């Protein structure tokens, strides 16, 4: 005589609710990541009333001591063009680069960077902070 249980256990798991949550989180993080404007170094930026909506591919910072940072690593002006070419080679014809230059900086380094960007056809956005 076999004893059988009247209550069958359902071993199935409904994944539809879990996939909805995953897609909502994915959309949230995609939107949140476009709102973040990373800065490599603490640079005192000039003030401006105009703010651009373009998303830069790379951030280059030049501090008051004329040290150039790309992805939080220091480079000399002579190394900068090779580093930028290497980092931006897979981003199409005219990638956008954000330049965070200290407001008290002499303009030599800024002009040298702009010359490198012109030769390589990079679009440049000057990083500013909103005016009060």
Q: What residue spans define the domains of the chain?
A: 38-130
Whole-angstrom Cα distance, residue 104 to residue 67? 13
Task: Give average pLDDT by consecutive 10-residue segment, the chain, 132 residues.
Answer: 73 83 92 65 64 75 85 85 86 83 82 88 80 67
pLDDT at residue 125, rounded to an integer: 84
Q: Residues 86, 89, 93, CA angle at the centre, nearest 5°?
A: 145
Distances (CA, A) of 70 to 31, 92, 104, 131: 24, 19, 20, 26
């Amino acid at each position: 005589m076999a004893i059988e249980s009247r209550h069958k256990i359902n071993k199935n798991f409904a994944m539809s609710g879990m996939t909805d949550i995953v897609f909502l989180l994915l959309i949230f993080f995609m939107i949140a990541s476009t709102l973040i404007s990373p800065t490599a170094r603490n640079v005192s930026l000039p003030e401006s009333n105009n703010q651009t909506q373009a998303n830069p591919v790379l951030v280059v910072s030049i501090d008051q001591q004329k040290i150039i940072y790309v992805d939080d690593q220091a480079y000399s002006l002579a190394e900068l063009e090779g580093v930028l070419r290497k980092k931006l080679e897979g981003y199409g014809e005219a990638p956008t680069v954000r330049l965070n230059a200290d407001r008290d900086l002499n303009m030599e380094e800024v002009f040298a960077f702009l010359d490198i960007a012109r030769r390589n056809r990079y679009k440049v956005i000057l990083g500013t902070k909103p005016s009060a």
